[in-house]
Amino acid sequence: MEMKSNDRRKTRKPGKTGATGILKKTDKAERPVRTGKTGATGIIRETGANGMSFEEVGQGRDLATKELSGNGKPAAKGGTAAKGGSAAKAGRKRVPVILVTNDDGINAPGIRNLVEAVKGLGKVVVVAPDKPQSGMGHAITIGNPLRLNPMHHLFDGVEAWQCSGTPVDCVKLAVDKVLRRKPDLCISGINHGANHSINVIYSGTMSAAVEASIESIPAVGFSLLDYSVEADFTAARKYVRIIVEQVLAHPMDKHLILNVNFPAVPENLIKGIKVARQAYAKYEEDFIERNDPNKKKYYWLTGKFVNFDKGRDTDVWALEHNYVSVVPVQFDMTNYVLKGKLEKTWKS
């Protein structure tokens, strides 16, 4: 039914997008407003006034869009294409690009489940190591050649490449040589084994996410507390999609890094998502001394994980109580509290 002229509402032109396609703060396009308060890293706090939980994400929310006329310019007011343009192109959604990587290797079950979890949320491209790279941290390859080989047959309908380097190498090569642009999101995992607490320092899974964040690409690392190649990723897939939908639908800090861990329990036992802090815990390590067949000594690292943190707001506590833990992390390792003290006491 045609609206009367005095009932028509003025619509604003959509705002310009940045390099990653995320709407800038100066955008004046009409869209849902985030009402939850944000912390230092831009994460919506659990006390946010919007009353929305992670579990409520994915109920048909639209991603950032950009209306175009036939000549690539913003459409005319009223939401219709400019004169001479195609109406079909006006209002066309911009499809986000999602880079997928890991540290267990491109053939690991975890990365297959990660790809399946995010299919349909954007253009998915996989660039992952050709062999396991667990514990590599933020290592990069220097002095040796890096190789990329197509592996498009591994994932149905998904472009995939295997890299001879580390997880961080994969992110660097993906941006520079495969995508030739920055993706809208980088997701890493699903790692076989925990990356809670101090593990974030050693983890190749999380270092890939950190590298993406350094390049101003929002990133999430996912890990399941089960080292078995036969691990059940059913619950993890469900919560991966919930979290990725949340990040895509509500762009936050371009340096966003989330460390997400899943308890190794059936889906019906998971209580939900808990935004937590990193627990103070470490490995009490030991090196076992052995002899090889040639009677030469070698050492094998072993250790026991010990949690010294009894707080109920930590990732370790959340996982022990069957919550999915989400820890916002950052690559800025400055101790600002100590910095303030030293500035007062260490006077030049």
3-class DSSP state of 86: coil
Question: Would you give per-residue pLDDT tens digits along the chain (348 residues)?
Answer: 444 444 444 444 444 444 433 333 444 344 344 344 333 333 333 333 333 344 333 333 333 333 323 333 344 444 434 444 444 454 567 899 999 999 999 999 999 999 999 999 999 999 999 999 988 999 999 999 999 999 999 999 999 999 999 999 999 999 999 999 999 999 999 999 999 999 999 999 999 999 999 999 999 999 999 998 899 999 999 999 999 999 999 988 999 999 999 999 999 999 999 999 999 999 899 999 999 999 999 999 998 999 999 999 999 999 999 999 999 999 999 999 999 999 999 976
pLDDT of 221 reads: 98
Phi/psi region, residue 123 (left: phi>0; alpha: psi -120 to 50; beta: rest), is beta
pLDDT of 229 reads: 85
Cβ atoms of 38 and 252 closer than 8 Å: yes
Q: What is the DSSP letter of 65?
A: B
pLDDT in tens, 226-260: 998 899 999 999 999 999 999 999 988 999 999 99
Closest among 132, 103, 119, 72 to 209, alpha carbons compared: 103
Separation of alpha carbons 202 and 135, rounded Å: 5
Cβ atoms of 247 and 122 closer than 8 Å: no
Is 89 buried (19+), middle (13-18) or exposed (0-12) by CB count in 10 A? Answer: middle
Radius of gyration, CA atoms only, the chain: 23
Contacts of 249 (CB under 8 A, 6+ apart): 57, 61, 62, 63
Separation of alpha carbons 69 and 83, rounded Å: 8
Considering the entire predicted model, what is its pTM? 0.73
Is 290 buried (19+), middle (13-18) or exposed (0-12) by CB count in 10 A? Answer: exposed
pLDDT of 91 reads: 57
